[in-house]
Amino acid sequence: MSKSVDSLLQEIRAHPRWAVLTGAGVSAASGIPTYRDHAGLWLGSQPIQHQEFLEDALKRRRYWTRSVFGWPRVAQAKPNATHAAIANLELAGRVAGVITQNVDRLHQAAGSRNVIDLHGRLDKVRCLQCHSVTDRSDMQGRLLSLNALPEASTLELRPDGDANLPPAFETDFRVPTCLRCEGVLMPEVVFFGGSVPTERVEACFKLIDSADGLLVIGTSLTVYSGFRFCRHAHQLGKPLVILNKGSTRADELSQSRYTDNPFQLLIQCANALCGDQAETCHA
């Protein structure tokens, strides 16, 4: 069922401060591919699993071979109007904070201040042995210095800084180790099959506890990682409002759903609410 911007405005105004949960759909307009379509169906091949990355050097090499091509798109991506709308709603006092399943840091770039990166951040790399953290841009420089890469213009880019490459490109690819201890380097993200750190999950629950409702934007909620927060809000008796082009796992728990042009509805709603408190908002 689709609703109008007036309906969404009424719902947001009825509750002072909302927690926001976002997914890959929010970043699609910034040029970052999504793992799933609007119906939650998987696009492309399955990603590397957490345990595979930890235990299999060939799988790690496969990841970095693709990442060296996919990273520039993420690094150069800019926030879009939906990111800006959410940031403006926070500045207007309507959003208490954002829980994002994305790893691109575009909410922060748009001006959102209270953001929990549920699945980590792609712009950092951590050593699994000494736990030192470096910038992904530094890792990119090391990858490029060690490897002669083929032309990337015709490659299919995939989510989270990944790219789909023929297996032949992986054979001679060299992966840097930690400069401090020569340990294995891993992006600072939660891979599929991995666990979100407990303290991060608890911070998400606390954000929902302190908010008056939960807005879900641009995610099918297929994985439990994000769905649990919808269930938590529902159990607390707080309104759950979903803005997504397709169905979601939490549809039956929601107070209302907006499926027709949901991002545009949010943008229009944010503009109207910023009109209420124009001095706190920015473009």
* Residues with Cβ within 8 Å of residue 158, at least 6 apart in sequence: 33, 44, 66, 70, 164
* Residues with Cβ within 8 Å of residue 104, at least 6 apart in sequence: 27, 30, 32, 74, 77, 122
Question: Smallest Cα–Cα separation from 122: which of 165, 72, 50, 193?
Answer: 72
Determine whether 107 is an active site residue: no
Question: Smallest Cα–Cα separation from 230: which of 205, 264, 206, 247?
Answer: 205
8-state DSSP, 129: T
Angle at 84 between CA 80 and CA 89, to 5 degrees: 150
Q: What gap in Å lies between CA 86 and CA 198, rounded to an integer? A: 26
Query: Within 10 Å of residue 98's Cβ, how many Cβ atoms?
Result: 30
Residue among 15, 38, 119, 282 flagged as catalytic: 119
Sequence letter at residue 265: L
- For the record, the structure tokens of 58 come out as 């060939």
Q: List active site positions.
A: 119
